[in-house]
A and B are shown apart, each in its own frame.
Chain A
Amino acid sequence: MTTVVRIIDLIKYYELGSVLVKALDGVSLTVHEGEFVALMGPSGSGKSTLLNLLGCLDRPTYGHYYLAGQDVAGMPDDQLSDIRSRFLGFIFQQYNLLAQYTVVENIEVPLLYQERRLTEETRQRCIELAELVGLGQRLDHRPMQLSGGQQQRVAIARALVNDPQVILADEPTGNLDTRTSEEIMQLLTRLNQAGKTIIMVTHENDIASWAKRVVRMRDGIVETDELNTPHWLRDGATVSA
């Protein structure tokens, strides 16, 4: 199994005046290709901080981070941007689509920042991804014209466009109702079954139960790290295509 993410003794401290906040206090974690990890833990336990570090949006105070074999912990800003645009896919709680762009254009954004030209081919790929997440009929719609669930689908398509090593999702269903959450989780599960590595932060056990591995955090350290049988496998049901 290929190792996608490997972090060793990751430490992130924030200095707030005289107070030292230990957001991460020595976290080690290895994620292999094809895994679906749920990061859980109480509020303030450091889940988002960890996800931001995994997403190369931030640099650790100490520790190592190997992403697809590259040591990215000490990389300069421009190189981190490059890593993000080529190896990572992001899904946010707030969907975070760009208001000026249509659905297809939003999906295209990560490609804008790669040193490559946008062609008919890449445009076609964006359209296919929109179809994959069930928005083939709404290619030219703006985010404002879409529901929350639809916006999150666009965000998922966007996270796929650069064929990332790992998809990072911070509470992807946090703003959605139960039914829509379920649809989104089905979509993520299908992607995982197709081989995508996913690391997802969540508060809810229901959501975490879709994952194949659950990591629980507390006060900046990993409390438990155990394999999980996704609920739909337990029930003997299958994910509808």
Chain B
Amino acid sequence: MLLFIPTVVVERGWRNIVLAVRSLWLHKLRALLSVLGIVIGTAAVIALMAFGEGSMQDALADIERQGATNIIVRSVKPPDESATQSRSFFAVYGLTEQDYERLHNIDTIIRDVPLRVFRQEIRYLGSMHVGRMVGTTQHYTIVHQTNPIAGRFLTADDEEFRRNHAVLGWTVAKQLFPLQNPLGETIVIGKHLYKVVGVMPERMPTGGSGGSQAAEEFNDDVYIPLSTCNSRVGARVFLRQTGSRSGEQVELHQVTLTVSNMDKVRPTADVVRDLLVRFHGPKKDWAMTVPLDRLDEAKRAKNRYKMLLVLIASISLLVGGIGIMNIMLATVTERTREIGIRRALGAKRRDITFQFLIEAVVQTGIGGILGVVLGLGIAIILPWLWQLITGSHLPAKIHEGSIGLSLGVSLVVGVLFGWYPAQRAAKLDPIEALRHV
């Protein structure tokens, strides 16, 4: 008996679903149009969730690449320098060895990597590639979370003995040694000879959206010991420009600091900022990037998407719900006679309520499914189109939960807005309903 009654209910439910589909099939176009609001609402939920999630994941991946516990301090050429100090032959700016020492002594910093970067011609036999010569130390691989795919990275010995060793970035290796193993070969950077000891893997450029930092491409790099770099390239660098000669003096282009743990990143960043402000004064010749800040930014972006989502979804679901209510009221009027017949043949009021409620829910459910398909389509096709047209990346990541959520919401809309018409149907007087033409 306990099993018997639920089976009856389940069968009745199923029969009502089949009936609803058949009844809707008699007015296909009308059913489709009336469910449009639900389709759009659901699609909006799916697509916006995908974009929100996508930008979040993008940011997380970016933070991962840059190191969540890293703080990056770079030298920046102050915008006013060339104008006010036009007499000066040299533009002197940026981080100094002294800065580096001070930063080095902050006790929450467990590792630091100084960088000097110069645009240079890199040659091997007849081939040439213009890339970045990067002077750095052995910790570079740890701090930037990368490892050579061939050979080794620079070592403490390389640094101490100022060896002429070089580690090639992926593109450089490809360009100069298309067919050949570069390890052990001798290349020329600028005017000097270096022996290739390692090759780095292909690396994704960092996102350009991280505050003041421009997108950075690593595959054109050649890494040499910082000490070697300092002895080859003096503090002052001459730049040849048309007509005039100018130069600049930058001791260090970048220092990447690794903090002992995630919680200390922000306090440490404050200390670093204070230090630099104290010693550089008003001169804005440095910039600091905290990859972890991207997280907040991404969270804000996600929240923006979420608010937009809630707004669009609730408006279109409201409109959709009213559309359903409207069409169900029309349906009930149209099918008054059917209701009378069913009542005469033994249907109780609740059977009629159930029938029309199911019909409303089937309708919004179908709308929900169409919306999910549309939303998934948008989340897949729009980034692709965006890439094609603007060439930039629009991150989207389909969120499985959003599918269940939006389908659930469309079913709830069906129940809420189908309730009143179903009640109207159930309250009809059987005799009057039978007399209806």
Residues of A within 8 A of B (CB): 52, 55, 57-58, 77-78, 81-82, 84-86, 90, 92, 96-100, 109-110, 112-118, 158, 162
Contacts and interface: CB of A to CB of B under 8 A. Distances in A.
22 contacts: A55-B344, A57-B430, A81-B343, A81-B347, A81-B348, A82-B348, A84-B346, A85-B345, A85-B346, A85-B347, A96-B340, A96-B341, A96-B344, A99-B338, A100-B19, A109-B341, A109-B345, A112-B346, A113-B345, A113-B347, A113-B351, A114-B346
Interface of B: 4-5, 7-8, 11-12, 15, 19, 22-23, 26, 337-338, 340-351, 430-431, 434
Contacts of A77: 348-349
Contacts of A90: 344-345
B19 A84 contact: no
A182 to B, nearest CB: 26
A70 B37 CA distance: 51
Given A58-B431, A84-B345, A96-B341, 9 more contacts: A57-B431, A77-B349, A96-B337, A96-B344, A98-B338, A99-B26, A100-B23, A112-B346, A113-B347
B345 A117 contact: no
A96 B431 CA distance: 13
A101 to B, nearest CB: 8
A110 B345 contact: yes
A2 B23 CA distance: 43
Contacts of B345: 84-85, 90, 109-110, 113, 158
Contact of A52 (B5, B7, B338, B431): B431
A197 B15 CA distance: 32
A116 B349 contact: no
Contacts of A112: 12, 15, 346-347
Nearest to A100: B22
Contacts of A86: 346
A112 B22 CA distance: 17
Q: Which of A81, A82, A86, A158 has the most CB of B within 10 A?
A: A81
Contacts of A96: 337, 340-341, 344, 434
Nearest to A113: B346
Chain A residues touching B, majority SS: loop
Specify the main secondary structure of chain B where it touches its partner.
helix
Taking each of B8, B344, B434, which has the highest tally of chain A beta carbons within 10 Å of its own beta carbon? B344
A58 B430 CA distance: 8
A115 B346 contact: no
A112 B349 CA distance: 14
Contacts, number: 73
Nearest to B350: A78
Contact of A116 (B8, B343, B344, B350): B8
Which of B4, B337, B341, B431 is packed against the most chain A CB atoms within 10 Å? B341
The 3 nearest A-B residue pairs measured at CB = A85-B346, A113-B346, A81-B348
Contacts of A92: 434
Contacts of A114: 346
Give the one of A85, A97, A100, A115 with max B CB within 10 A: A100
Given A96-B434, A100-B26, A78 B349 contact: yes
A64 B130 CA distance: 107
A180 to B, nearest CB: 22
Contacts of B26: 99-100
Nearest to A158: B345
Contacts of B19: 100
A57 B344 contact: yes
A112 B344 CA distance: 12
Contacts of B337: 96
Given A58-B431, A96-B434, A78 B348 contact: yes
B251 to A, nearest CB: 85
Nearest to A90: B344
A169 to B, nearest CB: 12
B269 to A, nearest CB: 69
B23 to A, nearest CB: 6
* Centre residue among B23, B345, B347 by max chain A CB count within 10 A: B345
A80 to B, nearest CB: 9
A92 B343 CA distance: 14
Contact of B11 (A82, A97, A118): A118
Contacts of B341: 96-98, 109
Contacts of B342: 98, 109, 113
A92 B341 CA distance: 10
Contacts of B22: 100
Contacts of A97: 341
Given A78-B349, A100-B26, A84 B11 contact: no
B434 to A, nearest CB: 7
Contacts of A52: 431
Nearest to A155: B341
A118 B14 CA distance: 12
A99 B430 CA distance: 18
Nearest to A55: B344
B344 A84 contact: yes
Contacts of B11: 117-118
A51 to B, nearest CB: 10
A216 B12 CA distance: 43
A78 B8 CA distance: 18
A82 B346 contact: yes
Contacts of B8: 115-117
Contacts of A55: 344
Contacts of B344: 55, 57, 84, 90, 96
A113 B8 CA distance: 11
A82 B349 CA distance: 11
A117 to B, nearest CB: 6
B346 A81 contact: yes
